[in-house]
Structure 1
Amino acid sequence: MTSTRRLRHWRGWLFVAPFLLVFALVFLAPIGYAFGLSLFRDQAFFGGTTFVGADNYALVLADAKFWESFLRVLVFLAIQVPVMLLLALVAALAIDSARLHAAGFFRIVIFLPYAVPAVVATLMWGFMYGDHFGLAADLNRLFGTDAIKPLSGGWTLASIGNIVTWEFVGYNMLIFYSALKVVPTDLYEAAAIDGAGTMRTILSIKIPALRGALMIATIFSIIGSFQLFNEPNILRTLIPNVISTFYTPNMYAYNLSFAGQQYNYSATVAIVMGVLTAIIAYVVQLRGARKGLR
């Protein structure tokens, strides 16, 4: 390597060095620290910690509470994510069409819930869900019934899904809408000349153009579902007998650490959950890439 090439090589590293430093400090270092914690266990009687290797991981894989919480968010993902993405897709197609009046206004209104902090949104919906106060209680009194109980055991997960959907439909709608705006107008003109109607244009031009955006939104939604924490953790103050401390994997890890002082086991739960999330997201991405090549 000549001196000129060597100088260019080091200049490139100097430009990316700030990013690499921040990336190492805020991403790699916490993961490494958590992984290090997962290899140790507190000694109950003698104090201190002892190296246990993969024993904590074996305990997590045999932990019924962990798998119960994992299956719960898996069910949440399988139902909530398709509903949310479908609503976002319909909203994006409606706003992109020339037939919707005041499209800019509707775009802002749909996106506005995403600007509301998750804590505020959950408190707001929690007040409406309460069967002794708020909207649900008012409806029960109006109709003389007590059938409307969004925070009852059978409806809790659906109620949380409604909050998350309300929060993130606008975010995903913006992703889809942005993808639609870069579709060449020549395709629409050619479709109109060929006599294609609205549905044929949507199915043959707009939906295929959204394949990449749909994949990105799906992966983000999968990761977000497995990170479910704020909504159930805040609602737990209203229904502690329904939402347990291990309602979701993140709640389980949080309560193990801050309530149970089991930092090593909590780190192990977090590592296992991160690996499972990465595997599922990668499989979805791989399947989407294969379908895109067909």
Structure 2
Amino acid sequence: MSEHIGSSEKLTHNTETDIYLMRHSNRFGGKGEWTDPATSEVIKWNDTEDLTPEGKARAREFGLDLRGEHNSVVGVGSMEGRAAETASDIEEGFGQERGQVNQASGITYKELGPDGQAMLKAAKPLIQAKAGSHPEYGRLSPEERATVRQGAQEVGLREGLKDMAFRAEAAEGLAFNLWLLKQFAEKGVTPDNKVAMPIVNHGLFNESFLLETLEVEDENGKKVKLSDVDDIGGFFAPAEAFKIKIKRNGSNEKVECSFTDPNRQAIFEGKKLSLDWSKVEELFYKFEERMATRENRVSRFKRGERLEE
């Protein structure tokens, strides 16, 4: 599953960079309230939004699994604490000292535009209603409540993917970070180094990005894009990722794409996965231009110009 996507004169040595588009690990559900349908008693709680013990263990396990293939891990996370915590736990599981996680732009819900914000506002009560239908929801332990809420999220996530404006904005934010890291892979990796770079984001970002950019090539060489999240096996679980391996041998570059979940990868057995890099680049510039307008500033990157180091 590899793809030649061009060459660069910046490197003359061998490098290998694996970029992981990854949903943050399991977390507690935050504060909330629930009315017991039998007694009308209102129960309130103020749970944290940090990772659960299970979530921390899963992130560390992800890092441990990176050891055999990589020399180092560079964690990249959204501005939300649970994403940074996931990236730090990955580094710890890898056996690396927990360091400052590189903060990414564009992969938090608060960075979406008005259409995206409106969709989130509409989806939240759907998730709350689904979770609240559990007969003992308010009386569960924080960990149990987090598990129930996690299972209930799909109803809200599906609603989000129906909104094409939301989907486009989420895809733009993830594309922005991937495109920048791809430039780093081309120019900034030391000789013979094998680097893992997880971009830890949130529900709907991976799915939106892949529905915009993923190409599946069959045995006859025909490439198709997918239109439904079920075509890629449904929504990403916590601490699950889409892997983009960038190999450079001198000036030659090759990219291989795969899912870290074997069951999801099995859906595409005998087929080649690749990204539409022209679409990724287009989304990169759309995000930068949208944020420049919102922040009333000049765009830092101009279309048609090579990104500077």
TM-score, structure 1 as length reference: 0.28
Higher Cα Rg, which structure: 1
The answer to which structure, 1 or 2, has the higher relative contact order (CA under 8 A, 6+ apart) is 2
Flag the structure with higher strand content. Answer: 2
Flag the structure with higher helix content. Answer: 1
TM-score, structure 2 as length reference: 0.27
